[in-house]
Structure 1
Amino acid sequence: MSESPQVTRSLVGIATIVAIATLISKIFGLVRQQAMAAAFGVGPAIDAYNYAYVIPGFLLILLGGINGPFHSAIVSALAKRKREEIEPLVETITTLVGTVLLFVTVGLIIFATPMIDLVAPGLSQTPEGIEIRAIAIQQLKIMAPMALLSGLIGIGFGSLNAADMYWLPSISPLFSSLALIGSLIALALYLGESITQPQYALLGGLVLAGGTLSGAILQWIVQLPAMWRSGLGKLRLRFNFQQPGVRDVMKVMIPATLSSGTLQINVYTDLFFASYIPQAAAAMAYSGLMVQTPLGIISNMILVPFLPLFSRLRDPSDWPELKDRIRQALTLTAITMLPLSALMVALALPSVRVVYERYAFDLAASKFVALMLMAYGSGMFVYLGRDVLVRVFYGLGDGQTPFRVSLFNIFLNALLDYILVNAFGAPGLVLATVGVNLISMVMMLWLLHIRLGGLPWKDWSRPFLGLAAGSIVVGLVAWVIRLGLEEWLGSRGFFAILLELSIPGFIGLGLFAFWALQMKLPEVDLLISRVKKRFQK
Structure 2
Amino acid sequence: MHNKTVIKSSVIIIILTILGKIMAFVRDILIASEFGKTYTTDIYISSLRVVMLLTTIGYGLTTTLIPMHTDNIEKKSVEERNIFVSNLLNTSGLITIVFIFISIIISPYIFKIFTPGYAGKPEVFYKAVHILRIMFVSLIFVAIQSIITGVLQAHKEFAEPAAMAFAQNIIMVIYLIVLSNVYGMNGFAVATVTGFAAQLLINIPKFKKLGYRYIFVVNFKDKDILKLLKLMFPVIISTSIIQINLCISNSFATTVYEGASTVLDFSNKLNMIVYEVFAVAISMVIYPTLATYVAQKNSVEYKNSLIKAFNVILLIMVPASIGVLILREPIVSVIFEKGKFDKDAVKLTATALMFYTPAMIAYGVRDILYKAFYSIKDTRVPMINSILAILLNIILSFVLVKNMEVSGLALASSISTVITTLILIFILNNRLKGINLKYLIKSFFKIGISSLVMGGVIINIRNLCFLKLGINFLGNIVTIIISFVVGVIVYFVCVYLLKVEEYIYMVELVRKKIGKNKS
TM-score normalized by structure 1? Answer: 0.90
**SS class of match (2:71):** coil
Flag as ranges the 4+ runs of structure 1 deviating above 6 A: 6-9
Q: Tell me what 1:42 maps to.
A: 37
Q: Alpha-carbon deviations, 1:375-399, whole Å to 9, x = none?
A: 2223211111111100101111111
User: Is 1:88–1:233's contact at 8 Å kept on the other side of the alignment?
Assistant: no
Residue 157 (str. 1) matches residue 133 (str. 2)? no
User: Is 2:52–2:243's contact at 8 Å kept on the other side of the alignment?
Assistant: no
Among 240, 246, 263, the alignment partner of 1:267 is 246
Q: Tell me what 1:81 maps to.
A: 72
The Cα shift of 1:240 comes to 3.5
Structure 1 unaligned regions, length at least 5:
1-5, 191-202
The Cα shift of 1:469 comes to 2.6
The Cα shift of 1:428 comes to 1.3
Q: Alpha-carbon deviations, 1:213-256, whole Å to 9, x = none?
A: 1111122123223222322342x432244545435533432220
CA distance in 2, matches of 1:429, 1:229: 46
**SS class of match (1:10):** helix
Structure 2 unaligned regions, length at least 5:
none
Q: Tell me what 1:22 maps to.
A: 17
Q: Tell me what 2:487 maps to.
A: 508
The Cα shift of 1:358 comes to 1.4
TM-score normalized by structure 2? Answer: 0.93
Residue 93 (str. 1) matches residue 88 (str. 2)? yes
Identical positions, percent: 23
Q: Tell me what 2:299 maps to.
A: 319
User: Is 2:51–2:136's contact at 8 Å kept on the other side of the alignment?
Assistant: yes
CA distance in 1, matches of 2:180, 2:118: 28
Q: Tell me what 1:194 maps to.
A: none
CA distance in 2, matches of 1:292, 1:534: 31
Q: Alpha-carbon deviations, 1:269-295, whole Å to 9, x = none?
A: 212210112212101211222222221
User: Is 1:91–1:238's contact at 8 Å kept on the other side of the alignment?
Assistant: yes
Q: Which amino acid aligns with 2:111?
A: I
Cα distance change, pair 251–468 in 1 and its aligned pair in 2 (3 A) = farther
CA distance in 2, matches of 1:339, 1:96: 45
Residue 256 (str. 1) matches residue 235 (str. 2)? yes
Cα distance change, pair 258–89 in 1 and its aligned pair in 2 (3 A) = same
Q: Tell me what 2:273 maps to.
A: 293
Q: Tell me what 1:490 maps to.
A: 470
User: Is 1:44–1:131's contact at 8 Å kept on the other side of the alignment?
Assistant: no
Q: Which amino acid aligns with 1:270?
A: S
The Cα shift of 1:338 comes to 0.3
The Cα shift of 1:155 comes to 0.9
Aligned pair count reads: 511
CA distance in 2, matches of 1:149, 1:43: 29
The Cα shift of 1:262 comes to 4.9
CA RMSD, Structure 1 to Structure 2 (Å): 2.2
Q: Tell me what 1:185 maps to.
A: 177
User: Is 1:159–1:232's contact at 8 Å kept on the other side of the alignment?
Assistant: no
CA distance in 1, matches of 2:98, 2:459: 51
CA distance in 2, matches of 1:211, 1:317: 47
CA distance in 2, matches of 1:76, 1:382: 25
User: Is 2:156–2:288's contact at 8 Å kept on the other side of the alignment?
Assistant: no
CA distance in 2, matches of 1:316, 1:441: 28
CA distance in 1, matches of 2:389, 2:3: 37
Alignment of 1:320-469 (within 5 A): 320-469=300-449
User: Is 1:175–1:218's contact at 8 Å kept on the other side of the alignment?
Assistant: yes
CA distance in 2, matches of 1:257, 1:220: 20
